[in-house]
């Protein structure tokens, strides 16, 4: 069977056996297509049935989460944990609380996590979980009761050397705290079963900042390779969560100017550069909409989502040198990348998971726009989670500067590995291919070593 037929066969059986999981198919297809040169060079992956195995999670846990709201009414949500692959280490990956969450979304995230985690060079397997619960608009007490109910079931499936969840969209320090407290209450043990913990109780310094910082370090590596740097560059950033906020902060450190941010209700364009303190106040303290930013900074422009031109994201219509999609999946489509290109954007660096549609990626590659693919560019978050696990296991606490410097080194090594791998397969600079092949190869070889499991 030709490699193309092998890939087609896997895609077909995936679609047949997991109906309706569109985001998952998208993630699988992107990886399989880029593996083509490796599969041609190495028939062993076909021989050992690696593709057949790697697209099926080792275990999927789906559970009911029942909690009581402030009015005394019983509410019901669905909880998920997909333990995708443990070939190179215990399962590791975040939890997402968002109304859009379903099994297909958790599976796409878990699948990507396998290769991302492998790329970090650290011993962590891939997993993802979450719920269709929406923390937005809920009181702290409601979020706490939900988190406690969620952890009551999840606690049966995780452990320091088994599966270590963390945050993702809708899960930050507050949620991790409530879940950690509940785990401790149930087990009677103070264990590092979650990362992203508070710095007073086992968390690592720099973990909050890590995904955003890492994404900017990755962009700097790409530019350095071209003899360029971030200094003086105008950047557009989408999102206003953890990833976006610390991308903006690090861009200032590197003397670049971030001019946009966004949330589900709209976007801000501030020509003078986004005011980081205002952004943090609105999002981290008030948990409010970005509309508040325009009130504090009347010189900025606020565009509500319903006023975006059809089928475009207004963030990507703002002229920039570099775009940092840092919100969510499929937030940058073909229209958006055409707008960016027309306005002179030279690099797209992905802080979110799978933010560019397949058509947008094709356009990026065809038009030689520099590209930092998500699995490589946003791996700094999970890498720093592993540093948190290391500190927990050895009962140590490293300084902010120490963790930040390790993060920077890890991002450089991810870039170097992706770049070198792209060269090895005669497509120098195609970091998407390089990252996917490098991430896959380590996991696949480990699966072969471990036999029929
Ligand atoms: N949710 C983050 C990611 O997409 C972090 C996961 C973790 O720290 O385990 O990689």
| Minimal-distance CA residue to ligand 1 atom 5 | 382
85 and 225 share one domain: no
Distance 383 CA to ligand 1 centre (A): 8
64 and 43 share one domain: no
CA distance 306 to 446: 48
* Residue-level pLDDT at 105: 98
Distance 240 CA to ligand 1 centre (A): 17
254 and 341 share one domain: yes
129 and 162 share one domain: yes
Which atom, in ligand 1's list, is nearest to the CA of 384? 8
Q: What is the pLDDT of residues 97-146, one digit of tens each?
A: 999 999 999 999 999 999 999 999 999 999 999 999 999 999 999 999 99
Backbone angles phi, psi at 129, to 5 degrees: -155, -170
Residue range 398-405: average pLDDT? 98
366 and 254 share one domain: yes
32-56 b/e (C-beta count within 10 Å ≥ 16 → b)? bebbbbbbeeeeebeebebbeebbe
Which residue ranges have their beta carbon within 6 Å of ligand 1? 92-94, 166, 168, 195, 353, 381-382, 385
For ligand 1, pick from 94, 109, 164 the residue to mutate: most ligand atoms within 8 Å of CB. Answer: 94
Q: Is 328 left (phi over 0), alpha (psi -120 to 50) or beta?
A: beta
| 12, part of any domain | yes
CATH at 280: 3.40.50.720
Angle at 203 between CA 197 and CA 204, to 5 degrees: 135
CA distance 63 to 278: 39
Catalytically active residues are 128
> Any residues with CB less than 8 A from the CB of 54 and at least 6 apart, and which?
85, 114, 440, 443, 444, 447
235 and 291 share one domain: yes
| Minimal-distance CA residue to ligand 1 atom 10 | 382
Which atom, in ligand 1's list, is nearest to the CA of 165? 9
140 and 241 share one domain: no
| 431, part of any domain | no
Mean pLDDT of the chain: 98
215 and 270 share one domain: yes
For ligand 1, pick from 23, 90, 93 the residue to mutate: most ligand atoms within 8 Å of CB. Answer: 93
| 132, part of any domain | yes
pTM over 0.95: yes
Provide the 8-state DSSP code for 356.
B
Residue with token string 């490293």: 398
CA distance 259 to 67: 41
Residue 361: half-sphere exposure toward Cβ, Cα within 13 Å? 23
Q: Which domain holds residue 109?
A: 59-190
Q: What is the pLDDT of residues 63-111, one digit of tens each?
A: 999 999 999 999 999 999 999 999 999 999 999 999 999 999 999 999 9
CA distance 108 to 122: 21
CA distance 322 to 349: 8
Q: 428 in helix, strand or coil?
A: coil
Q: What is the pLDDT of residues 161-200, one digit of tens each?
A: 999 999 999 999 999 999 999 999 999 999 999 999 999 9
For ligand 1, pick from 83, 328, 385, 388 the residue to mutate: most ligand atoms within 8 Å of CB. Answer: 385
How many structural domains compose the chain? 3
Tokens of 1: 């069977």
Residue range 366-382: average pLDDT? 98
115 and 7 share one domain: no
| 73, part of any domain | yes
| 283, part of any domain | yes
* Residue-level pLDDT at 145: 98
* Rg (the chain; Cα; Å): 21
* Residue-level pLDDT at 408: 98
* Residue-level pLDDT at 1: 84
CA distance 1 to 22: 26
CATH at 114: 3.40.50.10860
Helix ranges restricted to H, 155-200: 173-187
Which atom, in ligand 1's list, is nearest to the CA of 117? 10
């Amino acid at each position: 069977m030709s490699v193309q037929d092998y890939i087609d066969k896997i895609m077909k059986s995936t679609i047949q056996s997991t109906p309706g999981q569109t985001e998952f198919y998208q993630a699988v297809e992107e990886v399989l297509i880029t593996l083509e040169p490796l599969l041609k060079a190495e028939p062993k992956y076909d021989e050992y049935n690696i593709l057949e195995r790697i697209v099926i999670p080792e275990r999927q846990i789906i559970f009911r989460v029942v909690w009581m709201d402030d009015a005394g009414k019983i509410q019901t949500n669905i909880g998920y944990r997909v333990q995708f692959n443990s070939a190179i280490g215990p399962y590791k990956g975040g939890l997402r609380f968002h109304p859009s969450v379903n099994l297909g979304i958790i599976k796409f995230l878990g699948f990507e996590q396998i290769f991302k985690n492998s790329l970090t060079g650290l011993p962590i397997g891939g997993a993802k979980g979450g719920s269709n619960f929406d923390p937005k608009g809920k009181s702290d007490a409601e979020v706490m009761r939900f988190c406690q109910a969620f952890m009551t079931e999840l606690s049966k499936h995780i452990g320091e050397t088994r599966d270590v969840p963390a945050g993702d969209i809708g899960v930050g320090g507050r949620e991790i705290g409530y879940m950690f407290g509940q785990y401790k209450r149930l087990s009677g043990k103070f264990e590092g079963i979650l990362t992203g913990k508070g710095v007073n109780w086992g968390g690592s310094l720099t973990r909050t900042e890590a995904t955003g910082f890492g994404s900017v370090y990755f962009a700097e590596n790409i530019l350095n390779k071209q003899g360029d740097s971030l200094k003086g560059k105008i950047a557009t950033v989408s999102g206003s969560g953890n990833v976006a906020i610390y991308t903006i902060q690090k861009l200032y450190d590197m003397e670049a100017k971030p001019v946009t941010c966004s949330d589900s209700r709209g976007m801000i364009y501030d020509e003078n550069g986004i005011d980081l303190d205002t952004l943090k106040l609105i999002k981290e303290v008030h948990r409010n909409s970005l509309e508040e930013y325009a009130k504090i900074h009347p010189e900025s422009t606020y565009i509500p989502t319903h006023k975006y031109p059809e089928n475009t994201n207004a963030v990507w219509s703002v002229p920039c040198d570099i775009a940092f999609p840092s919100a969510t999946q499929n937030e940058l489509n073909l229209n958006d990348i055409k707008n960016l290109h027309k306005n002179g954007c030279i690099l797209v660096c992905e802080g979110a998971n799978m933010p560019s549609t397949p058509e947008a990626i094709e356009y990026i590659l065809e038009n030689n726009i520099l590209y930092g693919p998500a699995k490589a560019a946003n791996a700094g978050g999970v890498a720093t989670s592993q540093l948190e696990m290391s500190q927990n296991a050895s009962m140590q606490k490293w300084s902010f500067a120490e963790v930040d410097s390790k993060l920077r080194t890890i991002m450089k090594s991810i870039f170097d590995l992706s770049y070198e791998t792209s060269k090895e397969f005669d497509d120098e600079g195609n970091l998407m291919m390089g990252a996917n092949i490098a991430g896959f190869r380590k996991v696949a070889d480990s699966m072969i070593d471990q036999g029929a499991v």
